[in-house]
Amino acid sequence: MSTRIDDRFAALAAEGRAALVTFVMAGDPDPATSLALVKALPAAGADVIEVGMPFTDPMADGPAIQAAGLRALKAGMTLKKTLKLVADFRAGDDKTPIVLMGYYNPIYVYGVPRFLVDARAAGVDGLIVVDLPPEEDQELCIPARDAGLNFIRLATPTTDDKRLPKVLENTSGFVYYVSLTGITGAALADYAGVSAAVRRIKGHTDLPIAVGFGVKNAENAAEIARNADGVVVGSALVEALKASLGPDNRATDKSVEAVIALVSSIAGGVRGAQRSPAPAKNGGALSWLTRLWA
């Protein structure tokens, strides 16, 4: 049975273009503004929406997303309220895929069985949990799959051909390729290296490959969209939101608009990209990649 994520990537492949995957932090800078922003993203060009689950110790994230999570927590955001945000979004949009992204601790505290039931009921389509390796798939990945949710894995410039099959074993929806080593918001990736990595990963899987980390503008997005099935942008959107805030990190009447303007611009880059021919699946080696992110 296909999910909204499967259907969206299939539809975009038929159109001959990449997906724009946007990340925003749930509850940043407050729950109401966050919901308004998420609701506005599809019309601005977001094809898939990643919603961050605020957490106090986001070890894979850079300063911008760390600060966003802290603003959300200060505003009273919780995992339960994050699921309500998704449910409120779903009341007006039954098509756009929603992926929750974050860390295992809040889910563990919530309780995995309860979380999966509530996530499905809210309208969540997939999960990215960056600190659960494939060796712990029984903890959340397989139960999520059995509940009808995609479990999306990260691969990095250090994931080798020995490790990659384990990474892909229970992955579904798409593969999130982290285009550089480091934290979110770091320097822009090397396009030639990203292109080579995408081609090689595609030698091992039929899943779509979405590339993130380092995408700041329409030009960056267009370069990535030439070869990848999806372009992920997060830190740039979080930074645009931060720049719009007033004293005490309060939302202003420009907050949603600031993020939406950037999304619209980046969406134009994705849609205008000249696509390279898709490589055939051939089982090619990924000898220069040596380990999984998580």
Look at residue 287 and tell me if it is in a domain.
no
The β-bridge relationship of strands 126-129 and 48-52 is unpaired
**pLDDT value of position 294:** 30
Look at residue 187 and tell me if it is in a domain.
yes
Distance of CA 154 to the CA centre of its chain: 10
Helix, strand and coil percent figures for the chain, each rounded to 5: 45, 15, 45
Which tokens go with 100?
């929750």
Which tokens go with 225?
């969209």
**pLDDT value of position 288:** 25
- From the candidates 6, 30, 47, 61, which is the catalytic residue? 61
* 153: amino acid identity, one letter: R
Look at residue 195 and tell me if it is in a domain.
yes
The three-point CA angle 255-261-267 to 5° equals 135
**pLDDT value of position 61:** 84
Look at residue 78 and tell me if it is in a domain.
yes
Nearest to 231 by CA among 257, 249, 212, 248: 212
For 7, the enclosing helix (H) or strand (E) is: helix 4-15
* 129: amino acid identity, one letter: V
Whether 50 is catalytic is yes
Look at residue 92 and tell me if it is in a domain.
yes
Phi, psi of 251 (to 5 degrees): -65, 150
Look at residue 283 and tell me if it is in a domain.
no
CA pseudo-torsion sign 286, 291, 293, 294:
positive
> What phi-psi label fits residue 213: left (phi over 0), alpha (psi between -120 and 50 degrees) or beta?
left
How high is the mean pLDDT in each 10-residue block of the chain (294 residues)? Answer: 94 96 98 98 98 92 92 98 98 98 97 98 97 95 97 90 92 91 52 86 94 90 94 96 97 98 97 71 33 30
For 239, the enclosing helix (H) or strand (E) is: helix 235-244
**Residues of the domain holding 59:** 4-271
Q: How many domains does the chain have?
A: 1
**pLDDT value of position 17:** 96
The CATH number for 130's domain is 3.20.20.70
Look at residue 220 and tell me if it is in a domain.
yes
Whether 257 is catalytic is no
- From the candidates 28, 30, 47, 50, which is the catalytic residue? 50
